[in-house]
Structure 1
Amino acid sequence: MQLRSLLLGAALTALASPALAHFGMVIPSTPVVEDKNQATVDLQISFSHPMEMVGMTMAKPKAVRVIAGGKAEDLTTQLTPTTVMDKEAWKVSYAVKKPGVYQFVLEPTPYFEPAEDSYIVHYTKTYVSAFGEEEGWDEPAGLKTEIVPLTRPFGNYAGNVFQGQVLADGKPVPGATVEIEHYNQDKAYEAPNELMVTQVVKADKNGVFTYAVPFPGWWGFAALTTAKEKIAHDGKPKPVEQGAVLWAEFVAPQKR
């Protein structure tokens, strides 16, 4: 009887503890380059639970690229190890040489999550505007799945409404589920309850979602779908959660 009670208590505890949302993360040192002193952009690349500031070990990414002016440059060989949230992560620096909108794109090595009995692959991107240029921020990067911003993904105030369109294989994903979290770098915010850690919205029939950002900082938007292909694990095919992740910074206005 005592053993049964202990097992029941453990099961109830597990049910009462929701899994934290995973987020691929690509965070630049600045989303807006205004002068030559800022022209080297440092990128922090990790796999984490950003609101709770719980890091996860990240294998070396399959690919990291920068896309500007319709051309892509591979940065994968320039990656070096670092630590984010006390876990293995990656970093790379990129020297911006001319005006433009730069999309930094991550394709990770698939991660197997035992708790979900599936693989996770988060195609993640962020944007940097350089020297006053803002043309091309609404152009797809051509990823297997991605969020194409309908709101300019830089130069936004906290409180602004952000919209994006979820694509998979280049087509809109009707009714896609989008998870949203704040990168709580300084642990300045505490969620009132567990349900407030990850915000959730649904895209409409055209794959378009809307979210009003409540306070300043970096915010991640992750649209989750299931890939058509499976990946073998211990000889058995496992489903793949593919995430289209976009990071954007929202700032508070400065007083004179």
Structure 2
Amino acid sequence: MQIKAAAMTAALLALLTGEAFAHFGMVIPSENIVTPEKKDITVDASFSHPFEMIGMDMVKPKQFYMLSGKEKTDLLPQLKESKVMEHQAWKTDITIKRPGVYSLVMEPQPYWEPAEDLSIIHYTKTIIAAFGDDQGWDEPAGIATEIVPMTRPFGNYAGNSFTGKVLLNGKPVPGAEVEVELYNKDKKFKAPSDYHVAQLVKADENGVFTFTCPQPGWWGFAALNEADYKLKNPAGEEKGVELGAVLWIYLDEYKKSN
């Protein structure tokens, strides 16, 4: 209930100030399909408002790693501080050497949001495919909360519908609300109203949702739920925690043949 009350307060502030408050953890690789010609990728990790292109400083994540099947590679030691949207972010370079489907997963440090009177933890992932392999993309990563794809999360066109399942502690979340935003990287688009910045779709009784992405580019899906524990705010007070299950997918545009 505290999360809902805080969300209502944030929404009221958005109406009064014209600002939107949709935060997204972001894990964005330079390529989501790895080929022999493009096997070296750069991955940017940040915490931002992707459509509005408003950044926020993010301290070094608590965890950052790559999963492929049962193999887990710790990427945290090789993260380097960088800038995304002119704010503190992190990046690393990765060379993919073998065929497979790879999940890049970030668990950030809790972010205190005074406007919502709570801490935010967005468990964020994206999934890339390498050298033609397409097995295992629908397997959970086993994190506290996540969106498991039910549509293959790569090799898709703009205009396709994407379906995912929201999990919290490994179990589906009936009626989960999922915020959806386009990474408006070149500020190509302008929202006609605050309602258009973050789209909203509700999952069914099995935690399954579907959304049609109208434009090419990176699309973020964030399912927000209240944690069953509290964290102290900077003043030492016990406050609620928003857990975000965030997934990023890339949609390509159709290209005409020569």
- Superposition pairs of residues 68-83 of structure 1, within 5 angstroms: 68-83=68-83
Write the letter of the residue equivalent to 2:55.
Answer: G
Q: For the structure 1 residues 33 and 195, does the alpha-carbon distance in structure 2 shift closer, same or farther, using more than 3 Å as the test? A: same
Work out whether residues 20 and 194 of structure 2, in 8 Å CA contact, stay in contact via their aligned partners in 1: no
Q: Does 1:117 align with 2:117?
A: yes
SS of residue in 2 equivalent to 1:134: coil
Aligned equivalent of 1:201: 201
Please report how far the alpha carbon of residue 91 of structure 1 lies from its aligned counterpart in structure 2 after TM superposition: 0.1
Aligned equivalent of 1:66: 66
Aligned equivalent of 1:231: 231
Instruction: Determine the C-alpha separation between the residues in 1 that align with 2:14 and 2:77.
Output: 44
Percent identity (aligned)? 55
TM-score (norm 1): 0.93
Instruction: Determine the C-alpha separation between the residues in 2 that align with 1:15 and 1:237.
Output: 28
RMSD over aligned Cα, in angstroms? Answer: 1.3
Unaligned 5+ segments in structure 2 are: 1-11
Tell which structure's C-alpha radius of gyration is larger.
1
Instruction: Determine the C-alpha separation between the residues in 2 that align with 1:90 and 1:235.
Output: 28
Instruction: Determine the C-alpha separation between the residues in 2 that align with 1:45 and 1:164.
Output: 22
Q: Deviations over 1:22-80 (max 9, x none)?
A: 00000000000121x31112101000000000000001100101000221111101100
Q: Does 1:140 align with 2:119?
A: no
TM-score (norm 2): 0.92
Please report how far the alpha carbon of residue 190 of structure 1 lies from its aligned counterpart in structure 2 after TM superposition: 1.1
Write the letter of the residue equivalent to 2:28.
Answer: I
Instruction: Determine the C-alpha separation between the residues in 1 that align with 2:30 and 2:246.
Output: 18
Instruction: Determine the C-alpha separation between the residues in 2 that align with 1:124 and 1:52.
Output: 19
SS of residue in 2 equivalent to 1:104: strand
Unaligned 5+ segments in structure 1 are: 1-10
Aligned equivalent of 1:41: 41
Please report how far the alpha carbon of residue 20 of structure 1 lies from its aligned counterpart in structure 2 after TM superposition: 2.2
Q: How many residues align?
A: 245
Q: For the structure 1 residues 42 and 14, does the alpha-carbon distance in structure 2 shift closer, same or farther, using more than 3 Å as the test? A: same
- Superposition pairs of residues 169-208 of structure 1, within 5 angstroms: 169-208=169-208
Please report how far the alpha carbon of residue 181 of structure 1 lies from its aligned counterpart in structure 2 after TM superposition: 0.2
Aligned equivalent of 1:103: 103
Please report how far the alpha carbon of residue 162 of structure 1 lies from its aligned counterpart in structure 2 after TM superposition: 0.2
SS of residue in 2 equivalent to 1:38: coil
Aligned equivalent of 1:3: none
Aligned equivalent of 1:24: 25
Work out whether residues 20 and 197 of structure 2, in 8 Å CA contact, stay in contact via their aligned partners in 1: no
Write the letter of the residue equivalent to 1:31.
Answer: N
SS of residue in 2 equivalent to 1:15: helix
Aligned equivalent of 1:5: none
